[in-house]
Structure 1
Amino acid sequence: MNRAALLIPHYNNPQGLLASLASVGVDEAVDVFVVDDGSTRATIDEAAAQAAFRARGELHFLYLPVNAGIEYALNTGLEAMLAAGYEFCARLDCDDLNVSDRIRRQMAFLDAHPEVYLVGSAVTFFDASGDRFTIRQPQTHAEIVRQMHKDNAFTHPAVMFRLAGVREIGLYPLDCKAAEDFAYFWQFITRYQTANLPDVLVKSEYNDSGISLSRRRQQQAMRLKLLARHFDWKPASAVSMGKALASFALPLSVTRGIKKLLGRKDWA
């Protein structure tokens, strides 16, 4: 058993799963837990998955009997990792791609900074049209705390966290559908030091079937709920709430255009 395990939820996307598994570098010392969230239309081909995964680790498959939602799939994987005694959990979604040494670099950072319990990285996004943009999240804990009062300071598929922290704060919350990661990371930043690495360690596909897009209004509603929950009565928090309300009300095409115009993302 390795020190780190990679958690990949799966739902009706076996080809995306193969791409994600193949992206894990051959020299990476990491086990993988694939949790199927009740797929019926397109199920996992375990033999093909084993062939795609070439890293120095074991591949495990867990199956939920019915489609319950990503937070339940994630918690099923976390429970298995806790029971097995892993030290670190890394995240990845189907279709998303690791750089070849992503696991090693994040583990090395956590080993060098024992006070840090959650670390992310920059992420490059792509879609079928060929558009590319990179999100570079704040790097220091103080910057991350400030950002969390505006929006999520971590890109979920690029994080690695200590399972010792999970033992203390518990599993992903179930009351923030489509924003379970934002809610969970709030629990980390209020108890532990956190960080983001400046380098791109994950490449992530975005498309209209993704949770962030197909369930955008629900996600934005949960974002407002979390911003209100952690409201600190500072002017910046009030401004952030106003922006979140506007984002909830405006069409996605409009908010994308505004972000691009204002330089919210680094477009290539």
Structure 2
Amino acid sequence: MQGKNKVSILMGIYNCADTLSDAIDSIIKQTYANWELILCDDGSQDDTYQVASKYKEKYPDKIVLLKNKKNIRLAATLNHCAKYATGKYIARMDGDDLSLPDRFEKQVDFLDKHPEYALIGTYMKAFDEKGEKNIIPIKEIPVKTDLPKFNPFHHATIMMKREVFEALEGYRVSKLTTRAEDVDLWFRFFANGYKGYNIAEPLYLVREDVATFNRRTFKHSLEASRVLVHGIKSLKLPLQYYVFAIKPIVSQITPIWLKRKFRKNMDNRNRKGD
């Protein structure tokens, strides 16, 4: 399916040489063919850029490849990618994950048919070296009061109208939003009156191994808490919402095995329809 409206996929890549080919292949295999992939290497120390270059050579009309002079982190890297976007819709994708073949087709179809929504996300399914694991659901129609309690969208699954992304001036680049650039974007998204929706189907496979959990440091949790405090204040929510600002810190000190057990229990509840 060619499709009328082009999708610009933003992918910041960093030290993901071992997984990048699978990620890009999952985009090439999409049933929706009208897309462009904008890759930006953020100072990788492995062969990430070389892997990306081979795809650029093979698909010169579909892939844009950029390279930062030094590591500038994800928010700035994605903003760099966005400068080259020409599609009506902007989508996200990470270099160690996978998109199911019909992901873009279903997301574009939804946005084309529902102009009242500015963004469409999806459920995710976790996987690791042993295979696919649990489904990670998310609220179908999140509202601004959900933000302090949980992330309203799985960041890597989203597709957004480019005009909305540009109106929000993309991701905020600051020490405050490091590792929480998506949460900051959602606060500004709802503060400006936009609406988003989540497809109740896992159209995205997210890698969840030990290394994934190890990348989440206590410093990042503190920064995420500050983003929540700032966002709650910007939305002028009642005082009781501030208690949720400690949630990232609590999550950080929770053992990995307990997090996985909680996730598994939630998955079982979803399967039973509780």
Structure-2-length-normalised TM-score? 0.83
| Aligned partner (choices 61, 64, 67) of residue 71 of structure 2 | 67
Structure 1 residue aligned with 2:159: 160
- 2:8–2:36 CA contact under 8 A, matched in 1: yes
Change (3 A) 1:53 1:215: farther
Q: Is the 8 A contact 2:53 2:65 kept in 1?
A: no
CA 26–238 in structure 1, closer or farther in 2 if over 3 Å, else same: closer
Does the residue aligned with 1:45 lie in a helix, a strand or coil?
helix
Deviates more, 1:104-113 or 1:251-260: 251-260
Q: Identical aligned pairs, as a percentage?
A: 22
**CA–CA distance in 2 between the matches of 1:264 and 1:190?**
34
Distance 1:146 1:264 in 2: 26
- 1:225 Cα offset (Å): 1.1
Separation in structure 2 between the aligned mates of residue 133 and residue 263 of structure 1, nearest angstrom: 6
Give the 3 Å change call, closer, same or farther, for CA 178–264 of structure 1 in structure 2.
farther
Q: In structure 2, do the counterparts of structure 1 residues 27 and 241 end up closer, same or farther at CA, with 3 Å as the change threshold?
A: closer
Residue in structure 1 matched with residue 254 of structure 2 by the alignment: 250
Aligned to 1:19: 22
Which residue in 1 is equivalent to 2:170?
Answer: 171
CA distance in 1, matches of 2:115, 2:91: 16
Q: Deviations over 1:115-170 (max 9, x none)?
A: 2112110000111244611111111143xx33312121211110111110122110
Matched residues in 1 for 2:39 and 2:244: separation?
36
How far, CA to CA, are the matches of 2:21 and 2:57 in structure 1? 9
Moved over 3 A (4+): 50-54, 241-245, 248-268
1:257 partner letter: K
| Cα distance change on mapping 1:141 and 1:262 into 2, 3 Å | closer
Q: CA RMSD in A?
A: 2.8
Deviations 1:88-129 (A, max 9, x none): 111110121111121111111111111211211000011124
Q: Is the 8 A contact 2:92 2:156 kept in 1?
A: yes
Q: 1:233 aligns with which of 191, 213, 238?
A: 238
Alignment partner of 1:199 out of 198, 201, 209: 201
For 1:88 and 1:133, the matched residues in 2 are separated by 29
Question: Residues 89 and 260 (structure 1 numbering): CA distance in 2 closer, same or farther, change over 3 Å?
Answer: same
SS of match in other structure, 1:90: strand
Shift of 1:3: 1.7
Structure 2 counterpart of 1:194, one-letter code: G
- Return 5+ residue gaps in structure 2 as ranges: none
- Note the residue ranges of structure 1 that are not aligned, 5 or more in a row: none
TM-score by length of 1: 0.85
Cα distance in 1 between the residues matched to 2:64 and 2:216: 29
Q: Which residue in the other structure is 1:219 paired with?
A: 220
Matches within 5 A, 1:75-224: 75-81=79-85, 85-130=86-131, 132-142=133-143, 145-175=144-174, 176-191=177-192, 192-210=194-212, 213-224=214-225
Question: Among residues 21, 32, 42, which one is paired with 2:37 in the alignment?
Answer: 32
Residues 22 and 52, structure 1, Cα contact 8 Å, conserved in 2: no
Once the two structures are TM-superposed, the CA of residue 34 in structure 1 deviates from its matched residue by 0.8
